[in-house]
Structure 1
């Protein structure tokens, strides 16, 4: 579980110097690198900038960031070889599954891999002015959704699954953007929304209708079995920092990774190994850039699950320093097998679509129907 691994990560961090001595070798980095990231002003861009500055100071490597506000904009430079690494979100899960934007004929399942992923959390909140005490209590209630936002939808579906519910069990209230949805919650238009614990706008809700987190404790094995059936990217986490959260009153939420440092499977193992090692050894230069960037320490950021399998070059380094274990191996092998199954299904579906004369315009619906039968 993510929570237990975070605890384990603290112990690993304490042994970091000894581990580095035991596996000491020169770090080899290119003179210049290109990374993609979320757009200007995002947490992902800020953290990528801090890490790039650290590599410049320690190794003399110049990093050029190419920010984008869309999943395709962040992934396309990697796919075309114009960038090697990207600071991505859950779009890498959809890319590996050929879902949403990546269901287009010129995309399909992407063989992406993770190097490291900062632990983060998301969950469902309700107002203290409601009688909703658990996720099960959301049946028939108004829940916020964001139009054309697959990541937000995935978060909500997984949280509802914990309580044995589906989207059909709640009243969907759809907003044009994430900010509009949160404002709808603040004003009392809806009963619950999916949010991360540190969203600043929630302070307004906290001072108004009040905020109550709907817990998903890791001890509820049945609930978490349903979560994992909904999505493989989540694991239990207990948060002690955030709006209406404290050490005395933690919130048990969906643990996931954002940002996730991503590349393609074909990227050279040694290049990835050296990059991860360099980020580890330069950690002290960027660990205080914001309140959460410290979670990029390899003890926290170098464990499963994530939105895609971990790259073998990253696994090599993480295993050397004692972060990677048999549980991580098992998760990684299963996730790689899933991507291979999706790739096989995609190839068969494309062949059948061509034989049946399916147009590109009709392809996404054809693919969704085909994959539901072949994979889901």
Structure 2
């Protein structure tokens, strides 16, 4: 009798453990995600994935759109959002760079779940007379207030053509959506963004038309100039773009957008469940936009990406046979860089608290470069 009781207790404990393990890998009933604002590729793709999660698992997702990187990050960092569909602000925050070089920000720990490969170049109105990046000299270039993700990429792409911000007329718009639609309204001549943003289809159909300034892979001087500004992009051939004739290819730069990002403290089981759901619902959302097939984990679940992959994502990617030893080495190196910058920031901030915000940011960016140089 005693042995039967012990056996029953042991089985009960095992069943409870199994039940916990299974429930730990289920999606929550509700989630909050942040994304670019309505009309952006990021919002459209987050919406398609959220719809697939609802159909397959009954999970209700509320998407909080924002036209600024800070607006997408704050809910995540404050615990009011579970995941953020980010652009390069994920990299900038992890580095404490640009808008995040202020005393209120600095480098923060973030982790990636997955990130779709995306193309970007200087996208011009067809009647603006911009056939190469160098032709943008003196032209009106649309930037987005508080959005280093878009603005610094544009600065890097202008450098491809030997231009700086002093060589163009920067026109700043309050939101991403208004900047992207500004060419159609003849309030700007060009901007830099992904080629499937909805406003670009409107531009392509407008009397102004659309043109993609090429970033040819064999232009060594151009790429050297670009990477001095932003070293996370490389050449890419894009065949899906607003107004691009079927069968043609546009020569662009590649980066990751959107990058599904979460905090370092997010439960590994929660992230495992999320990326598993992302994989299992792929057939539902893969046709949601022209580029959503790139969410296949063989493409979106591999480095390089803006920040290290979360351990929960890595666990699933290893189970699927996608994650390699080289990927692991990349993740370790990227995590070491982030940790070094976070540690350097803590010391730097304490020693420079008396500087004005402007001088603080400039001094930190110089110190950051020194820290990164020592790591390489």
Which TM class, normalised by the smaller chain length? 0.7 to 0.9
Inter-partner Cα distance in structure 2 for 1:191 and 1:281:
42
Paired residue for 2:35? Answer: 38
Q: TM-score, normalised by structure 1?
A: 0.77
Which range moved further: 120-129 or 39-48?
Answer: 39-48
- Report if the CA contact (8 A) 1:236-1:255 is conserved: yes
SS of match in other structure, 1:310: coil
Inter-partner Cα distance in structure 1 for 2:31 and 2:322:
27
Inter-partner Cα distance in structure 2 for 1:110 and 1:157:
24
Paired residue for 2:191? Answer: 193
Paired residue for 2:111? Answer: 113
SS of match in other structure, 1:185: coil
- Report if the CA contact (8 A) 2:36-2:85 is conserved: no
SS of match in other structure, 1:347: helix
- Report if the CA contact (8 A) 2:76-2:84 is conserved: yes
Paired residue for 1:218? Answer: 217
Inter-partner Cα distance in structure 2 for 1:100 and 1:32:
37
Q: Give the C-alpha shift of residue 280 in structure 1.
A: 0.7
Which range moved further: 289-298 or 342-351?
Answer: 289-298
Inter-partner Cα distance in structure 2 for 1:128 and 1:71:
29
Which range moved further: 317-326 or 259-268?
Answer: 317-326
- Report if the CA contact (8 A) 1:145-1:153 is conserved: yes
Inter-partner Cα distance in structure 2 for 1:56 and 1:185:
36
Inter-partner Cα distance in structure 2 for 1:324 and 1:288:
25
Inter-partner Cα distance in structure 1 for 2:334 and 2:369:
13
| CA 1:326–1:189: 2 relative to 1, 3 Å | same
Inter-partner Cα distance in structure 1 for 2:251 and 2:366:
31
Q: Does 1:366 align with 2:366?
A: no
| CA 1:127–1:88: 2 relative to 1, 3 Å | closer
SS of match in other structure, 1:122: strand
- Report if the CA contact (8 A) 1:86-1:263 is conserved: yes
Paired residue for 1:48? Answer: 46
- Report if the CA contact (8 A) 1:123-1:254 is conserved: yes
| CA 1:191–1:81: 2 relative to 1, 3 Å | closer
Question: Gaps spanning 5+ residues in structure 1: where?
Answer: 1-24
Q: Give the C-alpha shift of residue 131 in structure 1.
A: 5.0
Paired residue for 1:248? Answer: 247
- Report if the CA contact (8 A) 2:43-2:65 is conserved: no
Inter-partner Cα distance in structure 2 for 1:180 and 1:57:
32
Q: Give the C-alpha shift of residue 67 in structure 1.
A: 0.9
Which range moved further: 254-263 or 111-120?
Answer: 254-263
Which range moved further: 244-253 or 191-200?
Answer: 191-200
Paired residue for 2:298? Answer: 299
Deviations 1:33-74 (A, max 9, x none): 5332227735444433443443344445x3442514243443
Inter-partner Cα distance in structure 2 for 1:184 and 1:153:
15
Q: Does 1:312 align with 2:311?
A: yes
Paired residue for 2:369? Answer: 375
Inter-partner Cα distance in structure 2 for 1:130 and 1:336:
43
